[in-house]
Structure formats: C-alpha cells, structure tokens
Amino acid sequence: MKIITKNYSLQNGKRSYLVYLLDHNNKSLECFDIEGEEKRLEKEEELSKKYNINTENVNYISLEEFKTQDINADNPLFLIFYLDKEMFSTKGIVQAYGDNVKQYLDGKGDNVRLFFMPTTENERIECINPIHIDGKNEFEKLETLIVEIENKFHIGTH
C-alpha cells in the first residue's frame, strides 16, 4: 500500500490537498480532502501507522507539478460532494444518491468522477481539478452544471 498526496489548491495562503490511500495495484481505496499543511501531515501519519506504510511509499505532488501534469481531453472532472454527515449514517443512502447523480450526469454525456465527503458545515459541490477547463465559457458551463446538480439533488437546502 502507499499514500499519494496532491496539493491541488492555494487560496488565501491556505493549501488544500487530496490524500489518497492506494492498494498494491495503485487503485485508490480512500481519498481525503485536507486543508492545511498540519492536517495533511497528521492524515499521512495516521494512514502510515494504521497500514504500516514506510516513507518510501509516501509520495507528494506539489501544486506546480499538479498543474503541469499531462492534460488529456479524456480526463474527467472531479466533483466533491460535501453532504450532511447524517446521510452517511444510513447504510446505502449515499450509494443510492451517488448512483442517481452519476446516472443524471451520464445522461448528459459529462465525463465526471464523483466523491462524497461527510460535513458538519454547509453542503456544497466543489470541482477539484478545474485546470482541465479552458476558457471563460467552460468555467460558466461548470458553474451551470454545479447549480443544476445542487438544485436537482437538493444540495445545501438542509
């Protein structure tokens, strides 16, 4: 197993990271959206101890590397759904919710990967790889898509 951390954002002096736990086939088992260097290090340490991962199997991708990675037109957008943590207490509800959202997006022909994270704050949707979007029109399409999903699936109305 290994850990890969990607610094995907720097806003108002705060860095945001995605910390991935990967299996031996480099398949993602878990993904954590972390804000701040201290919390990132804590999460990496927690995963390292829990799964006995040595330092050779902990990799870091800087913001600069993240932004210059090869961009393939087939790469999906990654949308993170921050949903009320109570939704995660009932087995299967988030899975069914995700299946409905995926079916909706597939029907529109959008190439999107979905991640669902519990939150005690306001529900929201964030795109974590807007680097794949080129131009103002594309950003407007993304914003429209997010608003459509929020309205259709009642995100942020609780």
Domain ranges in the chain are: 2-68, 77-152
**Better-scored residue on pLDDT, 69 or 119:** 119
Question: What is the model's pTM?
Answer: 0.52
Going from the C-alpha of 38 to that of each of 2, 5, 47, 92, 131, the distances in angstroms are: 20, 13, 14, 33, 25
DSSP string, 6-19: EEEEEETTEEEEEE
CA atoms within 13 A on the CB side of 38: 0
51-106 pLDDT, tens per residue? 999 999 999 988 888 777 655 556 678 888 999 999 888 888 888 998 999 888 88
